[in-house]
């Protein structure tokens, strides 16, 4: 069954706790939390204190997407704040394998993400260390961008790589996901659909989430 992870980047930040409850009550599997440092991407969002503050509003799985330059410095803060999954970028600086190992040691689920222009081969050496590959279908940094058409092909290629690895790894897709692009990604092999602007602009996201989960 497909999992749906609304991206809180498109929520009303003035009432993040209530927005998290809304997402939870809409039947979402995970809440996707986009952390941006203004360096790895040209935008700033929030850090571990905000994750900790909203943690008490819901038991939903927290899928933390770190778009930050040197992630190993911060993984413990996010683990302590209540993250369940912590994903770092293959393009980031510093010790990426060390960051993934540290996430595992902290009892959390590690993920690796790659940008639209990053070749799928770049993640091969990390597959032994992760439980999730997050395929970006927009250049990270902002919600509401257009889906990049090379996404489904990359997902299919990563699905083959994972099958060859013999490990059980989820493929998530993030950026420009709506009913049409999401279905194409699921058909290509995606397990988790991350969607921000499309879901949050719906008055009630529950029926859409229910539909996607059946794909
Ligand atoms: C982009 C973020 C995404 C973003 C997706 O940098 O990683 O999670 O919130 O937003 P939409 O679904 O609007 O493209
Ligand atoms: Zn994201």
Q: Is 34 in the pocket of ligand 1 (CB under 6 A)?
A: yes
120-159: pLDDT as tens digits: 999 999 999 999 999 999 999 999 999 999 999 999 999 9
Query: Residue ranges of the domains in the chain?
Result: 4-8+12-213
Three-class DSSP category at 166: coil
Amino acid 153: pLDDT: 98
The catalytic residue among 29, 34, 131, 191 is 34
Q: Is 195 in the pocket of ligand 1 (CB under 6 A)?
A: yes
Read off the pLDDT of each residue in 192-206 and give the average, rounded to a whole number.
98
Amino acid 145: pLDDT: 98
Q: Is 32 in the pocket of ligand 1 (CB under 6 A)?
A: yes
Read off the pLDDT of each residue in 58-78 and give the average, rounded to a whole number.
98
pLDDT band at 112 (very low <50, low <70, confident <90, very high): very high
Q: For residue 21, with 0-12 CB atoms within 10 Å meaning exposed, 13-18 middle and 19 or more buried, which class applies?
A: middle
- Nearest-CA residue for ligand 1 atom 4 is 143
Amino acid 159: pLDDT: 98
Read off the pLDDT of each residue in 109-119 and give the average, rounded to a whole number.
99
13-44: pLDDT as tens digits: 999 999 999 999 999 999 999 999 999 999 99
CA of 51 to the centre of ligand 2 (A): 14
Let me know if 84 is a catalytic residue: no
* Distance separating alpha carbons of residues 179 and 201, to the nearest angstrom: 13
Amino acid 196: pLDDT: 98
The catalytic residue among 63, 131, 174, 191 is 174
Amino acid 4: pLDDT: 99
* Distance separating alpha carbons of residues 100 and 2, to the nearest angstrom: 25
Q: How many CB atoms are located within 10 Å of the residue 173 CB?
A: 30
Amino acid 143: pLDDT: 97
Q: Which atom of ligand 1 is the closest one to the Cα of 178? A: 12
Read off the pLDDT of each residue in 196-208 and give the average, rounded to a whole number.
97
CA of 6 to the centre of ligand 2 (A): 9
Q: Is 192 in the pocket of ligand 1 (CB under 6 A)?
A: no
Amino acid 77: pLDDT: 98
Let me know if 174 is a catalytic residue: yes
CA of 83 to the centre of ligand 1 (A): 18
Mean pLDDT taken over the chain: 98
Task: Identify the H or E element spanning 62.
Answer: strand 61-67
pLDDT band at 53 (very low <50, low <70, confident <90, very high): very high
Pick the CATH number of 4-8+12-213 from 3.10.20.90, 3.20.20.70, 3.40.250.10, 3.40.50.800: 3.20.20.70
CA of 187 to the centre of ligand 1 (A): 20
Best residue for ligand 1 mutational test, from 5, 9, 19 (most atoms within 8 Å of Cβ): 9
Amino acid 165: pLDDT: 92
Read off the pLDDT of each residue in 176-184 and give the average, rounded to a whole number.
98
Q: Are 205 and 182 in contact (CB under 8 A)?
A: no
């Amino acid at each position: 069954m497909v999992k749906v992870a609304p991206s809180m980047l498109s929520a009303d930040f003035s009432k993040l706790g209530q927005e998290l409850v809304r997402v939870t009550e809409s039947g979402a599997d995970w809440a996707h939390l986009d952390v941006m440092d203004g360096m790895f991407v040209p935008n700033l969002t929030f850090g571990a204190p905000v994750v900790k503050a909203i943690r008490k509003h819901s038991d939903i799985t927290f899928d933390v997407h770190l778009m930050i330059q040197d992630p190993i410095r911060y993984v413990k803060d996010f683990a302590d704040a209540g993250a369940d999954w912590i994903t770092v970028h293959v393009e980031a600086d510093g010790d990426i394998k060390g960051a993934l190992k540290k996430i595992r040691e902290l009892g959390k689920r590690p993920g690796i993400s790659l940008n639209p222009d990053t070749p799928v081969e770049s993640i091969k050496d990390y597959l032994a260390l992760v439980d999730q590959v997050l395929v970006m279908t927009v250049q990270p940094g902002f919600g509401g961008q257009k889906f990049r058409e090379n996404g489904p092909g990359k997902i299919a290629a990563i699905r083959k790589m994972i099958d060859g690895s013999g490990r059980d790894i989820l493929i998530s897709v993030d950026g420009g996901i709506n009913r049409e692009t999401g279905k194409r990604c699921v058909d290509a092999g995606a397990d988790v659909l991350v969607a921000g602007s499309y879901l949050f602009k719906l008055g009630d996201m529950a029926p859409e989430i229910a539909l996607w989960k059946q794909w």
